[in-house]
C-alpha cells in the first residue's frame, strides 16, 4: 500500500438552478399516455434525456422548463415542467 493517487477523492458539490430549455421532444407513446421523451439543456450546459410532466402546456423547442423530482417505484427521477 502506498499513498493515494492524485486527483482521487470526492468531487466538489455543484449547485444548479434546475432551469433549462427543451431541445427536442417526441410525441406521446401509445402504451403510456401521456408520455413523452425530451432532451433538456440546462442553463449550465449539460443535457438530459427526460420527460415533461405537463405536455398540455405546449411542447416546443426553446420552451423554458423547471426541474421536478418525482418518485417512481422508489426511485427519484429528474423530470421537468413547462413554465
CATH number, residue 74: 2.40.50
Closest residue by Cα to residue 65 from 29, 17, 28:
17
Residue 81 has pLDDT above 90, yes or no: yes
Residue 15 lies in a domain: no
Question: Domain range spanning residue 39?
Answer: 20-82
**pTM: predicted TM-score of the whole model, two decimal places:** 0.61
Q: Residues 30-63: pLDDT tens digits?
A: 556 657 889 999 999 999 999 898 988 988 888 9
Please check whether residue 55 lies inside any domain of the structure.
yes
Within a domain: 56: yes
Domain count, the chain: 1
Note the pLDDT of residue 30.
Answer: 57
Looking at residue 5, what is its pLDDT? 56
45 Rama class: left (phi>0) / alpha (psi -120 to 50) / beta: left
Residue 69 resides in a domain: yes
Amino acid at each position: 500500500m502506498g499513498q493515494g493517487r492524485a486527483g482521487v477523492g470526492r468531487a466538489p458539490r455543484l449547485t444548479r438552478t434546475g432551469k433549462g430549455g427543451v431541445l427536442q421532444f417526441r410525441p406521446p407513446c401509445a402504451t403510456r399516455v401521456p408520455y413523452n421523451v425530451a432532451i433538456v439543456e440546462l442553463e449550465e450546459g449539460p443535457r438530459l434525456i427526460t420527460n415533461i410532466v405537463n405536455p398540455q402546456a405546449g411542447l416546443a423547442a426553446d420552451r423554458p422548463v423547471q426541474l421536478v423530482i418525482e418518485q417512481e417505484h422508489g426511485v427519484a427521477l429528474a423530470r421537468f415542467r413547462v413554465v
